[in-house]
Amino acid sequence: MKGYVYYSKIESCRNQAFIEDLQMEAKRIEIDLKLLIEDEQPDTDADFILFRNRNPELAKKFEMDGFTLLNRAEVNRIANDKLMTFELAAVLGVPAVPTERIRHFEEISTYPCVLKTVDGHGGNEVFLCTSEAKAKVFFRQFESHKLIVQPFIESGAQDVRVFMLGDEVLGAVKRTGNGSFKSNYTLGGTAEKYVLNFSQTQDAITIAKAVKSDYIGIDFLLLPDGRWMLNEIEDPVGARSLYATHDFSVAEKLMRFVLGKVFGR
């Protein structure tokens, strides 16, 4: 049994410990898991590729070449387009942060608002705009990007990231921002284990089943009145906050999922 885990060069350095953990757990179940970086080409007899990059076009190319991808290219495409994510939620009936495509700052009707590039991640390219002057700065900085606008929703800089393995909840963490409206753990926020209620679990499962994902994160804003709203889908999703709050190996569970899905064992 043979497979690859694909990363960009930069992300392979940032995620070296997780890559080594994946390879160790793969070896335990007799899977030869090699690292694939940038323009390196996989052997044609590989059984699968764990695709850990934000590049739907490359993912699609691998699929067209006959490789089995986890996650598949369509998951990567939807997760890395925030407008498409919102449109999916609307179809599924999952509560989500209202999201609109915007082409010029004059289209903004109310402040404060949140401006984002449609494909940003990790809290980057996300700005809280309280005035037209700040919106103008954002548009100048990201004029070559596809942009979206969302209303600013007070959440106490808290959200929940739900980690999905197939259509099962692997775990969830509540993230709280540190001096920012952004809650991202990698931006200095804190994380704690979070237990979903039945309704929240169903929302997460509905999304995972709809996109036919393998391993994703789904981010929901927590509202003061106890409701939540879908904000983003993360593919590839990092596991740092999950490791920090749970007592199991994400790599082990992911590789055993691969063993079952790809090899039927």
Residues 185-229 pLDDT 10s: 455 678 999 999 999 999 999 999 999 999 999 999 999 888 999
Give the Å distances, CA to CA, from 201 to 86, 177, 196, 219, 265: 18, 23, 6, 13, 27
Residue 180: the pLDDT is: 52
Residue 181: the pLDDT is: 52
Residue 17: the pLDDT is: 95
Residue 5: the pLDDT is: 98
Residue 19: the pLDDT is: 98
Query: Does 118 share its domain with 189?
Result: no
Query: Does 170 share its domain with 219?
Result: yes
3-class SS string, 35-86? EEECCCCCCCCCCEEEECCCCHHHHHHHHHCCCCEECCHHHHHHHCCHHHHH
Query: Does 206 share its domain with 183?
Result: yes
Residues of the chain with pLDDT under 70: 179-188
Query: Does 7 share its domain with 130?
Result: no
**Among 151, 168, 188, which residue terminates a domain?**
151
- What's the alpha-carbon Rg for the chain, to the nearest Å? 19
Is 104 a domain residue? yes
The total number of structural domains that make up the chain: 3
**Among 109, 135, 151, which residue terminates a domain?**
151
Do 207 and 225 meet the contact criterion of CB atoms below 8 Å apart?
no
Residue-range definition of the domain harbouring residue 69: 2-73
Is 253 a domain residue? no
Query: Does 147 share its domain with 198?
Result: no
Residue 111 structure tokens: 């402040």
Q: Which CATH number fits the domain that encloses residue 135?
A: 3.30.1490.20
Query: Does 240 share its domain with 162?
Result: yes
In this predicted model, what pLDDT tens digit does every residue of 105-138 receive, in sequence order? 889 989 999 999 998 877 778 999 999 999 999 9
Query: Does 108 share its domain with 219?
Result: no
Residue 124: the pLDDT is: 77
Residue 65 structure tokens: 């070449």
Query: Does 167 share its domain with 187?
Result: yes
Within 70-185, where are the H helices? 73-79, 82-92, 132-141
C-alpha to C-alpha distance for 28 and 256, rounded to whole angstroms: 10
Helices (H) and strands (E) counted in the chain, each on its own, are 9, 13
Query: Does 109 share its domain with 128?
Result: yes
Residue 179: the pLDDT is: 56
Query: Does 89 share its domain with 195?
Result: yes
Residue 157: the pLDDT is: 81
Residue 187: the pLDDT is: 53
Q: Which CATH number fits the domain that encloses residue 45?
A: 3.40.50.2300
